[in-house]
Structure 1
Amino acid sequence: MAAGATIHTFDVQLADVDRGVYESLALRLARHPSETDAFMMTRLLAYLLEYEEGIEFSEGISATEEPAVLVRDLTGAVTAWIEVGAPDAARLHYGSKLAGRATVYTHRDPAKVIAQWSGKRIHNSEAIVVHSFDPGFIDAATTGLERRNTLTVSVTERHVYLELNGTSVESDIHDHPIV
């Protein structure tokens, strides 16, 4: 955990009908002082939307050798590299080679995120997808953010319903190939 990080706790009810994932989770997120609410919320959603055995948060913004979220198998090998925001092409290239599966969740304009990678070498780029949400969704979700949080996330037909401390918002999950 980074020095000066703020700890946020989340009691989560996750119902991802699309993937058949139903979990009750108690999560602790360390928010780096330079991390925005929007980045942290996107990082949390990336974790929940990719939830599977072996998933974990990295050190976040302060982690230079790991993505925001990753999945490890029982041997400790990285099987999924999950970036948040607008990672650079070299980082995405490295993660895709290391894990075999890489994806990005962004709270920014996905066209601008993808455009920055144009002409750059990214391993297995045809298999990498950038996931985004409806404009304003992440900002609306963060209005209910506190240090201790109760969160319900339901996903059905690539549509996410989120209730955070009584604030309800919803969005489609948009998928953007990078090639």
Structure 2
Amino acid sequence: MALKATIFKARLQIADMDRDYYAEHLLTLARHPSETDERMMIRLLAFAHNASEQLEFTRGLSSDDEADLWQHSLNGEIETWIEVGVPAEDRIRKACGRARKVLVYAYGQRTAPVWWEKMESASARFDNLQVFFLAADECAQLAALAERNMDFSITIQDGHLWVASGSENIEVLPQRWK
């Protein structure tokens, strides 16, 4: 019998001073049985970092043809394609061909730098690609906040993300690799 996804609910109060975006989002996240709390929380952070009314989670790990998050224009074209982790070059190529903007949130203290060393030269031809790296300690702190019902206040300023939940406050600074 196949394992089912675990459902998480999140309330995000976002104050993004870099983009002048202020909103509250009530989200439902389905965590695939093979997905870790760390990866799910990075998906949530990527949502907050790029939040808009049109940005949405996809089937993610369940589908090879979809991003982890994406945003469509009113005519159905993919405006933003967001990947979490260290995607293969062919996946990035496909995303860059289909979307106006592609964002990768890489993590993993050992795997991400090795992946980027291989991908950096190949990524130069993709003008619509941006790559961010999240430090292991920040990812671990985010993972520790994972609960079935979550309530976060997220402030974004000068590229820094401050995530507050109850008495916990975490600062996340995505390093821009490209």
8 Å CA contact 1:145–1:164 kept in 2: the answer is no
Aligned residues with identical type, % of pairs: 28
Measure how far apart 1:88 and its partner are.
0.5
TM-score (norm: length of structure 2) = 0.90
1:104 equivalent in alignment to 2:104: yes
Please give the alpha-carbon distance, in whole angstroms, between the structure 1 residues aligned to 2:108 and 2:46. Answer: 14
Counterpart for residue 58 of structure 2: 58
Q: Look up the match of 2:134.
A: 133
Q: After alignment, is 133-142 or 6-15 more displaced? A: 133-142
Q: Contact between 1:97 and 1:123, CA under 8 Å: does it hold in 2?
A: no
After superposing on structure 2, the runs of 4+ consecutive aligned residues of structure 1 that deviate more than 4 Å are: none
Match of 2:157 in 1: 156
Note the C-alpha offset of 1:81: 1.1
Distance 1:118 1:162, change over 3 A: closer
In 2, the alpha carbon distance for the partners of 1:44 and 1:140 equals 13
Q: Which runs of 5+ in 1 are unaligned?
A: none
Query: How far does residue 3 in structure 1 lie from its aligned partner after superposition?
Result: 5.7
Structure 2 CA distance for partners of 1:144 and 1:100, relative to 1, 3 Å = closer
Counterpart residue identity of residue 59, structure 2: E
Deviates more, 1:144-153 or 1:104-113: 104-113
Partner of 1:27: 27
SS at 1:29 equivalent: strand
Which stretch has the larger CA shift, 46-55 or 32-41?
Answer: 46-55
Displacement of 1:130 in angstroms is 1.1
Alignment CA distance shift 1:5-1:20 (3 Å) = same
State the distance in 1 between where 2:80 and 2:3 align: 27
Contact 2:108 2:135 in 1 (8 A): no
In structure 2, what residue type is equivalent to 1:169?
A: I
Q: 2: CA distance between counterparts of 1:67 and 1:123?
A: 21
Per-residue CA shift, 1:45-74, capped at 9, x if unaligned? 111111124211111211210110111011
Amino acid at match of 1:31: R
Question: Contact conserved, 1:149 with 1:165, CA < 8 A, in 2?
Answer: no
Indicate if the aligned counterparts of 2:72 and 2:80 stay in contact, CA closer than 8 A: yes
Instruction: State the distance in 2 between where 1:34 and 1:6 align.
Output: 10
User: Once the 2 structures are TM-superposed, how far is the Cα of residue 124 of structure 1 from its aligned partner?
Assistant: 4.2
- Contact 2:42–2:142 (CA<8 Å) still a contact in 1? no
Q: Do the aligned partners of 1:85 and 1:104 also contact (CA within 8 Å) in 2?
A: yes
Show structure 2 runs of 5+ residues with no match: none
Residues 1-179 of structure 1: pairs in structure 2 closer than 5 A: 4-109=4-109, 110-117=112-119, 120=122, 124-177=125-178
- Matched residues, number: 175
